[in-house]
Structure 1
Amino acid sequence: MRQPVVKRVRQVPPARRAKAVRDATPRSRLTTAVRSARLWLRDLGGRTVVLLTGAVVVVAAVAVTGYFLSRTETARHLPDTRARSYKDVDACLLTGKDGITAGTTAAQVWEGMQDASLTTHARVSYVPVTGEQSAANAGPYLNGLLQRSCDLVLAAGGPQVTAAERAAPLHRTVDFVLVDDGGSGPKPTGSARNADSGKGSGNITFAHPGDGLRAEVAGTVERRIAARG
């Protein structure tokens, strides 16, 4: 007599069954969405699909074009601060050891030179005389400016003015603007001789220290550069 066959049913743990349901749900939703989209496109017809595709392409192109145009406009309204152009004219200042420290005569001269640079686009620079504050020691520094082809040489301070006044007759193509700050150094004879008029002869101009020095230097530099053409 044959024994009855007993079928064993494999029991799936509840946790695994729940996971299988969760995994199947997104796939089912995705499958349903794809099937619905295909049916919708088929119902629309080929011509409508082409029109919709073209519309999408046009919208994307407009968006991309607008993006690049906006970047171009932004760049156009932000000028490069380094784009300022200068004339081939150099105005160089020779100062004492303190340079252009605020409150000094040289600081006023430097401010006037900067004002003139904004108007004329001339390049401006300065060099302080270090070490002994004498005309003899200022001479090599002045020669350095002349070798750099400075078109205008401004000197602030007794020793610097003395050195520049001695060199001026030897460099007729260079304009000199001299400002004696009334320090303890030797007084240049030219400055004393022209103290009333504020002007020297030839390629030398004397400026007066004081409250109006900045404007006087700016005006003198502008006139000298204009005379050069």
Structure 2
Amino acid sequence: MVKRVRRVPPARRAKAVRDATRRSRLTTAARSARLWLQELGGHTIALLAGAVIVVAAVAVTGYFLSRTETARRLPDTRARSYKDVDACLLTGEDGITAGTTAAQVWEGMQDASLTTHARVSYVPVTGEQSAANARPYLNGLLQRSCDVVLAAGRHQIEAAEQAAPLHRTVDFVLVGDGGSGSEDTGSTPNAGSGKDPGNITFARPGGRLRAEVADAVERRVGTRG
């Protein structure tokens, strides 16, 4: 009788060898860990366990604190909705520097923007401070389709008064001591006299300038829906 020898495929034999090696390594690692713990003793093991617990607690606390801090710093993701109305300020070379008349005008415009949701912006006239040099800057605002144009300063006012009759669909709010201004921001004092086209509101610097500018812009924006 011939005895048959069962042949094991090479792939299966290689897998068996890998499994045996893995089991051997796990057994060796477990034995080494057990011997190490026995050498340390109960007191040392307790200290190590306590240290692990403390580290874990600190990590968890830090995680939740960082989540809380991040939540506080998250900005409001709700985008502000603006009307399709632009109020633009033309200033002298100092722009809206604190303490200037233009700074008060800008604050009033921002107040009006919060109420009406109109967009606000400003442009300073640089270089020569004259009406002639202010005109190109003013024309730039008009070309940008600014619906309400505010001018702060004598030269800016002069340029705006000259442009107002040519741009009757634009509302002008003129702030300063120049031009033919009036302290009454709610009226156009020269209307009907041939000097005022009816789309100008005047205001002079003063303690209530911010509120008066806000009121003037709100009225002008309000007429545009």
- TM-score tier (shorter): 0.5 to 0.7
- Contact persistence 1:179–1:209 (CA under 8 A): yes
C-alpha contact 1:178 1:205 (8 A) present in aligned 2: yes
1:85 matched to 2:81? The reply is yes
1:219 aligned residue? 215
Alignment pair present for 1:112 and 2:108: yes
Q: How far 1:196 moved relative to its partner? A: 5.7
Structure 2 gap ranges (5+):
1-23, 34-70, 192-197
Alignment of 1:84-103 (within 5 A): 84-103=80-99
Q: Tell me, yes or no, if the aligned pair for 2:150 and 2:173 is still in contact at 8 Å.
A: yes
Match runs of 1:176-215 below 5 Å:
176-180=172-176, 182=177, 187-188=178-179, 190-191=180-181, 194-195=182-183, 199-200=187-188, 201=191, 202-215=198-211
Matched residues in 2 for 1:125 and 1:205: separation?
19
RMSD over aligned Cα atoms: 2.8
Structure 2: which amino acid aligns with 1:110?
W
Say if 1:169 and 1:84 are closer, same or farther in 2 by CA, change over 3 A. Answer: same
Q: Give CA deviations for 1:103-140 in whole Å, capped at 9, x if unaligned.
A: 00000000000000011110000000011111111011
2:149 is the counterpart of 1:153: yes
Structure 2 Cα separation of the partners of residues 93 and 210 of structure 1: 18
Question: Which of the pair has more CA radius of gyration?
Answer: 1
Q: Alignment length, in residue pairs?
A: 156
- State how far apart, in whole Å, the 2-side matches of 1:93 and 1:172 are: 18
Q: Distance in 2 between matches of 1:218 and 1:114?
A: 8
Spell out, residue by residue over 1:29-52, the C-alpha distance to the aligned partner (whole angstroms, 9 max, x if none). 9xxxxxxxxxxxxxxxxxxxxxxx
Q: Which runs of 5+ in 1 are unaligned?
A: 1-19, 30-73
Which range moves more in the overlay, 139-148 or 196-205?
196-205
Alignment CA distance shift 1:210-1:84 (3 Å): same
Aligned with 2:157: secondary structure?
helix
1:132 aligns with 2:128: yes
- With over 3 angstroms needed to count, the CA separation of the structure-2 counterparts of 1:25 and 1:209, relative to structure 1, is closer
How many percent of aligned residue pairs carry the same amino acid? 73
TM-score, with length taken from structure 1: 0.62
2:17: which partner in 1? none
Q: Which runs of 4+ in 1 moved over 6 A?
A: none
2:223 aligns to what SS in structure 1? helix
Query: How far did residue 195 of structure 1 move?
Result: 4.2
CA contact (8 A) 2:148 2:171 kept: yes
Query: What is the deviation of 1:26?
Result: 1.8
Change (3 A) 1:216 1:140: same
